[in-house]
Amino acid sequence: MATALIILAAGQGTRMNSDLPKVLHPLAGVPLIQHAIDSGAAVSPERTIVVTGHGADQVEAAVAQIDDTITCVRQEEQLGTGHAVLQARAALDGFTGDAIVLYGDTPFIGQDTIEALTAARAQHDVVVLGFEAADPARYGRLVVEGDQLTQIVEYKDATEDQRAITLCNSGVMAADAGVLFDLLDGLGNDNASGEYYLTDAVAIARARGLSAGTVTCPEAETLGINSRAELARAEAVFQAAKRAEAMDNGVTMYAPDTVFFAHDTYVGRDSVIEQNVIFGPGVTVESGVKIRAFSHLEGCHVSRGATVGPFARLRPGAELAEEVHIGNFVEIKNAVIDEGAKVNHLSYIGDAHVGQATNIGAGTITCNYDGVFKHHTEIGARAFIGSNTMLVAPVRVGDEAMTGSGSVITTDVPDGAIGIARARQANKDGLARRLFASLRAAKAAKAAKNKETN
């Protein structure tokens, strides 16, 4: 059966105290809403609808970057969750299948849980996701008799017996799309907030003789983000799980609490990650790689047996082949480094291709930007780039070629040649002693004058 996702992302998030819409605050390197979209991907949705409101332009632009096939609709007035879901009706016109309601600020709903919701629809017309709360506090309670969900009771309306229930409402719901919208047409707003609540759909379904049931998940999956403190806690939850997963998969970390992953980081087994390493989005590290301390990686691929760091930075487009060495205070951006090449010290390699087994000397810079355009540098195989070489792109250094230390290379160096581009050294006999003597005399005169003044 086809499935549609309806992701609610219209709330202002006033407790975030931010100009940025709540669902765009980053968690594990990507906006919160991307986590909700990724969770729903488990059921390969035919359509995904995001309901926007506060900061709609920003949210819609971010959603388009994540997946430009997603449809955004607006909730011009924030009149409750039931009202928000109704805004998706027109976008689902003609759709036949189930609709699952998710929340853009609830990032941890697991794909297994989404699949369980869809499976439960075979037994019930409406399925609600619940969780056993360690501290139910003021969560809404799910009242269940046998396998039937009889009602959702808000804490403020619950009896003492109902408040003793620990099965709580996550807000996530699944139902046939047509049935869901029919139920929501029956909502009222006779409550203290004057809003139309999605949770009231269960009581309406029961009154119409429909079946309602529950699926449960761990409480941690239902964590919603409403404040900076909750965002920080969510980041800690994500990182702890990602670190444990990495170690279970055969990755060594000496100080795992100091390593930070992005939502899509992949690290192969028998790799070693030293202290204080940060992964941004889009990083793949193959097996047997060593990432040394205080390195930062994003948007890059590191092949088997490579070494990166310490204090290295790999930026988007960095592609390291097998057995490559990237050393301390080296930055690589939009560059391919072929097998066995070494860039070990204090260098910047951008918009470049470095050939197999080439050695890049300390302080080398590919001068790739002229203030308007980026230009490419090509360095051949088994070349040797002398320390402190400036390679002014576009330029090519050939296979088995060399550059002299301190050179500014502005034209191509042929295969097997040495490129030297620096002024001829001139030694002036005795000039250093005379210069030092003059400078020391000037310093002494200045000190004497200051003493007289004081």
Is the model's pLDDT at 75 over the cut of 90?
Answer: yes
Average pLDDT for residues 286-292, to the nearest whole number?
A: 98
Cα 274 to chain centroid, rounded: 21
CB 277 within 8 A of CB 265: no
pTM of the predicted model, to two decimals? 0.88
Residue 193: what pLDDT? 74
Residue 404: what pLDDT? 96
Element (H, E) at 451: helix 431-453
What are the pLDDT digits (tens) for 369-399? 999 999 999 999 999 999 999 999 999 999 9
Whole-angstrom distance, CA of residue 366 vs CA of residue 231: 40
Residue 381: what pLDDT? 98
Is the model's pLDDT at 149 over the cut of 80?
Answer: yes
Whole-angstrom distance, CA of residue 6 vs CA of residue 127: 15
Catalytic residue among 35, 54, 83, 345: 345
Q: Which two tokens stand for residue 179?
A: 């049935």
Residues 289, 292, 295, CA angle at the centre, nearest 5°? 110
Q: Which one-letter DSSP state was computed for residue 24?
A: G
CB 294 within 8 A of CB 311: yes
pLDDT tier at 451, thresholds 50, 70, 90: confident
Is the model's pLDDT at 52 over the cut of 80?
Answer: yes
What are the pLDDT digits (tens) for 86-122? 999 999 999 999 999 999 999 999 999 999 999 999 9
Which amino acid type is present at position 188? G
- Residue 253: which residues within 8 A CB-CB, separation 6 or more? 243, 246, 247, 259, 272, 273
C-alpha separations of 234 from 41, 115, 118, 166, 283 in Å: 21, 23, 26, 22, 21
For residue 202, which of 90, 102, 79, 82 has the smallest C-alpha distance? Answer: 82
Residue 156: what pLDDT? 83
Whole-angstrom distance, CA of residue 395 vs CA of residue 416: 16
Residue 53: what pLDDT? 95
Residue 202: what pLDDT? 94
Query: Which domains, ranges and CATH numbers included, belong to the chain?
Result: 3-222 (3.90.550.10), 246-419 (2.160.10.10)
Residue 96: what pLDDT? 95
Average pLDDT for residues 227-250, to the nearest whole number?
A: 97
CB 313 within 8 A of CB 296: yes
| 345 part of the active site | yes
Q: Which two tokens stand for residue 195?
A: 């809003």
DSSP code string of 396-433: EE-TT-EE-TT-EE-S-B-TT-EE--SPPP---TTHHH
> Taking all residues of the chain, what is their mean pLDDT, rounded to a whole number?
95
User: Residues, the chain, total?
Assistant: 454
% of the chain exceeding 90 in pLDDT = 90
103: left (phi over 0), alpha (psi -120 to 50) or beta: beta
Residue 349: what pLDDT? 98
Average pLDDT for residues 146-169, to the nearest whole number?
A: 90
